Amino acid sequence: MFALLVYLFLIIPLIIITGAAFGTDEYLRFPPQGFSLKWLANIFEVEMFVRTFKISLEIAVLGTVLALLVGIPAAYGLSRYDFVGKNFLQGFFLSPVLVPGIVFGFSLLNFLIIKYEMPVYTSLLIGHTVIIMPYIIRVISSSLENFDYSIEEAAISLGASKVKTFFVIVLPNITSGVIAAFILAFINSFNNVPVSIFLTGPGISTLPIQMMSYVEYYFDPTIAALSVVLMVMTIILMFIIEKTLGLSYFAK
C-alpha cells in the first residue's frame, strides 16, 4: 500500500508534465486543453536548446569514452591484481560519488578554470569524465567478478601476449558490462547539473543548465515538451540495458 503511494508520488508529476507538453495553453496547465505539437516544435525554435543539446551530447559521448578508456583498465587492474594500496585506490576511484556534486563542481572551478586557466569546454569535459568514472568502474568491476581468469591464462599459454589476450579474450566476455557502463555514464553526464553549473561559461552551456535558465524567464510548456523528449531518450537507453543484461545489474 505504502509502496503504491510512493509510486504514485513519483509517477503523477511525470503524467502531468507529459499532459502539459501536448496542451495548447501558453502556460503549464493540467489537465491540458486541446492537443498540439507546437511546444515540441518550439524546442527546435529556441536556438540555445539546439546548441546546448549538441554540447551536452558531445560532452556525454566524449566524457564517457574517455572514462571508459581509463575506467576499463582500472577496473581490470583492481579486480585482477592484489597490490599494496589497492583499497585506497578503490576508494579514490569511487570518491566522486561520495563527495556532493556541488562541492566537487566548485573545486573543479577553482582548480581547473581559475588556477590553471583552462578553457571552459575542456574543464567541462574533464569534470564530466571524472564524475562518471565511478559508475564505469563499478559496472565493469561487477562484470569482471564473474570472469574466470583461468581463461585468460589459457589464452596466454596458447601464445597470445597479455595485451592481445585482453582485447581478444577478456573484452569480448565483458561487452554487456561495457555497454551498460556506457549507457549509465552517458545518462549521468547528460543529466548532470551540480558539476556543470560551475563549469559553464559564455557560449558554452549544457542542456540541463540551459533549461534551468529558461524557466527563470519563461513559463511556457516548451520545458515540459523537452522533459518528455529526455524522458523518452532515457527510457530507450534503459530498455537497451534491460535487453543486454537486465536492470538487476544495478541492484548489486
Minimum distance, C-beta of residue 144 to another protein, in the bound complex (Å):
14
**Identity (one letter) of the amino acid at 207?**
L
Alpha carbons 218 and 222: distance in angstroms, whole number: 9
Residue 157 CB, nearest distance to another protein (Å)? 4
From candidates 151, 232, 233, 235, binder to another protein by CB under 8 A: 151
For the beta carbon of residue 154, count every other beta carbon within 10 angstroms.
13
CB nearer another protein, residue 10 or residue 157: 157
Q: What is d(CA 207, CA 225) in angstroms, rounded to the nearest whole number? A: 14
The CA-CA-CA angle for residues 148, 153, 154, to 5°, reads 95
Site for another protein in 168-187 (CB under 8 A): 169, 172-173
| Burial of residue 6, with CB atoms counted within 10 A of its CB: 0-12 exposed, 13-18 middle, 19 or more buried | exposed
Toward another protein, which CB reaches closer, 162 or 243?
162
Using the rule CB under 8 A, is 153 a contact of another protein? yes
Angle at 131 between CA 110 and CA 114, to 5 degrees: 15
- Which residue in 119, 161, 218, 242 binds another protein (CB under 8 A)? 161
236 binds another protein (CB under 8 A): no
By CB under 8 A, tell whether 159 contacts another protein: yes
Given a contact cutoff of 8 angstroms between Cβ atoms, the answer to whether 87 and 200 are in contact is no
Interface residue with another protein, options 150, 202, 251, 252 (CB under 8 A): 150
Residue 148 engages another protein in binding (rule: CB under 8 A) = yes
- What does the block give as the cell for 73? 583498465
Q: Is 85 in the site for another protein (CB under 8 A)?
A: no
Number of chain residues interacting with another protein (CB under 8 A): 17
Q: Which is nearer to another protein, 28 or 170 (CB)?
A: 170
Minimum distance of another protein from residue 178's CB (angstroms): 13
- Angle 76-62-164 from CA coordinates, rounded to 5°: 35
Instruction: Report the interface residues with another protein, using CB under 8 A.
Output: 148, 150-151, 153-162, 164, 169, 172-173
